[in-house]
Amino acid sequence: MTMKPPTAPVAFALAVLALVSPPPVRAQRADTADAGAIDWRGRLEGDARRVLRNYYDPAIRHSDVTQSCRADKGEICYNGGDHEDQQCTSSRCRQPGETDRFLARLAEAADSAPDDPLAFAQAVYAYARLGRLEQATARVGACAFAAWWCDLLAGMVHDRAGRTLESQASFNAALPAADPQLSSRLASVAELLDGDERTQYRKLAGRERWDFERRFWWLTNPLWSIPGNDRWTRHIRRRLELILHEQLLETTGNEHPRNHEIAVVRRGHEDSWSKIGLPAPRWTSIQAATYRFSPVSGITGEIGKLRYEFTARREDERYTPDTYGPVYHVPSQFGRFLERDSVAVVVAARLDLVPLRRTRAVFLVSDGPGSYPVGLEPRVSGPRPVVETVVAAVPVVASLEFVDVAGAVGRARVGLPPLATEGLALSDPLLVIPDSLTLPQDRDQAVETMMGTTTLEAGGELAIYWEVYGVVRGQPMEFSISIQGVEDGFFTRVLRALRIRGDAQGPVVSWSEPASAPIHPMAIGLDIGGLENGDYVLNIGVALLDGWTATSTRSFTVARP
């Protein structure tokens, strides 16, 4: 992607941002026949089976009179937070030291079977999920089985410990060399997709599926400004732990249903419980999962349809980061303008609408998985930061990200298709802060005064700036403006022509004027005092005498108190 040098210095090193998505490791796939065969779907045997069966015996039920246990209220649910101990619905179900004795016995059982990779994995898994991360790290460091199996277990422990970069490196080393069926199962994103996208994904195989997954994780990475893709490492870790979970359940004569697997992949392991209702809800805490970082649209097809909804519903895919948060959607406005054969991208945000303090801000643009996002500091700081850069005329994703001193973060991310670089074309209409006397005379003024949101909370005027491209000086142009969803005659449109101070009032639907230059700037003010609260689409059209036409739109919301 071709980009012009930023006008402001970059505040931090950007080389690490290459880690925003899993790198293309499959092209270097190793010969799995030489990598070591492990029966990862096999049955756990020996002393490890006995230790697990005795400890998690479903016949031993522990309960109390409470109706629920919520981790977000500080309550310790299950046995010290052990989601595998779901028969233990009491904070007093284990005697002091019982968990430590269980871990010691399981470790001894694994050590007594040095050729059993499943027993070894169960010991590492137990230490990791029960929070003994130093012991889990030490044990996995002594792994002597197939390298890919050891790397998978190391990735699990690293992710449990919040070491995202180390986890990502381990999983990237493991997946190409692992058993192909295991690798496919770990990498699958079917449960994170909805509707037609899930159906289409399940039909993919080979390179097509891999390309889809890389694009998905490129778009799903929570923050490009934080090295590594913690959402991806968490996904692989959840799937790996589900395989170990299956083996553990088999020792007690149980199995988990498909809907349970889907829930864990989408939301994570259970951390709370309730006795009210059947089946009993297992994610009653807010901590279980809060955000939805995968797009709700635009995963396939046009990048311009990319859309996110941070606030997840109960049935959605959900995720809560361990090392940063809470996460806020920052109100913003993005715009595109032609800059010769390139595209100028501008964005402004409203930081005063989110509870972030002393933030570090960065604007990043990427044109695909594996690309190096280019980072820029805002050219205008404060509560309404404004950023501008120039990119090649290709589809890109732009992300404005903020991290405050306490670890809370904010993000605004959109997909931006390129503007046409030949023939008649329009820029995006830019909503600017209304001024009763003047409108912006050029792009620089418009960018300086662009609104940091597309929501109008006060006033009755909508001020807009846009540019027309592909015309010659003096060429007649016919403009039209409409607002979708408003009945004819419901409001009066007021046009204030560029370069004219004061108002020229009257109902306006269309008008003509000659082009002033090959790039013709336009600014108008619209009276929207009659619009009720709601969502609208502003449509701007231009037509030439030779039949050429172009249109541009801007969605906005009226939300007056």
Query: What is the average pLDDT across 548-557?
Result: 95
Query: What is the average pLDDT across 396-420?
Result: 93
Residue with tokens 């050590």: 111
Confidence of residue 395 (pLDDT cuts 50, 70, 90): very high
Separation between Cα atoms, residue 202 and residue 207, nearest integer Å: 13
Q: What is the DSSP letter of 6?
A: P
440, 465 Cβ separation under 8 angstroms: yes
In this predicted structure, what is the pLDDT of residue 193? 92
In this predicted structure, what is the pLDDT of residue 134? 97
Confidence of residue 240 (pLDDT cuts 50, 70, 90): very high
Three state DSSP letters for 390-444 = EEECCCEEEEEEEECCCCCEEEEEEEECCCCCCCCEECCCEEECCCCCCCCCCHH
Q: What digits encode the pLDDT tens for the residues 248-288? A: 999 988 888 888 899 899 989 988 888 765 556 777 776 77
Confidence of residue 91 (pLDDT cuts 50, 70, 90): low
Contacts 24+ apart (CB under 8 A), 333-336: 333/430, 333/431, 333/450, 333/451, 333/452, 333/453, 333/454, 334/398, 334/412, 334/414, 334/416, 334/428, 335/427, 335/428, 335/429, 335/430, 335/447, 335/450, 336/416, 336/418, 336/419, 336/427, 336/428
550, 425 Cβ separation under 8 angstroms: yes
End-to-end CA distance of the chain: 44
Confidence of residue 302 (pLDDT cuts 50, 70, 90): confident
* 3, pLDDT greater than 80: no
Provide the sign of the torsion angle of the four alpha carbons 234, 236, 242, 247, taken in this order.
negative
Q: What digits encode the pLDDT tens for the residues 416-474? A: 999 998 899 999 999 999 886 789 999 999 999 999 999 999 888 899 999 999 999 99
Please state whether beta strands 455-456 and 549-558 pair in parallel, antiparallel, or not at all (unpaired): parallel
228, 165 Cβ separation under 8 angstroms: yes
Q: What digits encode the pLDDT tens for the residues 95-143? A: 878 999 999 999 999 999 999 999 999 999 999 999 999 999 999 999 9
Pick from 56-65, 444-453, 471-480, 546-555: least confident: 56-65
Residue with tokens 């381990």: 170
* 508, pLDDT greater than 50: no
Q: Mind listing the domains of the chain with CATH numbers?
A: 1-18+324-420 (2.60.40.10), 422-561 (2.60.40.3880)
3-class DSSP assignment, residue 259: helix
- Sorted by sequence, the CB contacts under 8 Å of residue 11 that are 6+ apart come out as 360, 362, 377
Separation between Cα atoms, residue 363 and residue 373, nearest integer Å: 9
314, 290 Cβ separation under 8 angstroms: no
Confidence of residue 11 (pLDDT cuts 50, 70, 90): very low
| Of 84 and 22, more confident | 84
* 12, pLDDT greater than 70: no
* 192, pLDDT greater than 50: yes
Q: What digits encode the pLDDT tens for the residues 307-346? A: 999 887 777 888 999 899 899 999 999 999 999 999 999 9
User: Which residue(s) pair with 537 in the sheet?
Assistant: 484, 555
List the structure tokens of 147: 């390298």
| Of 57 and 497, more confident | 57
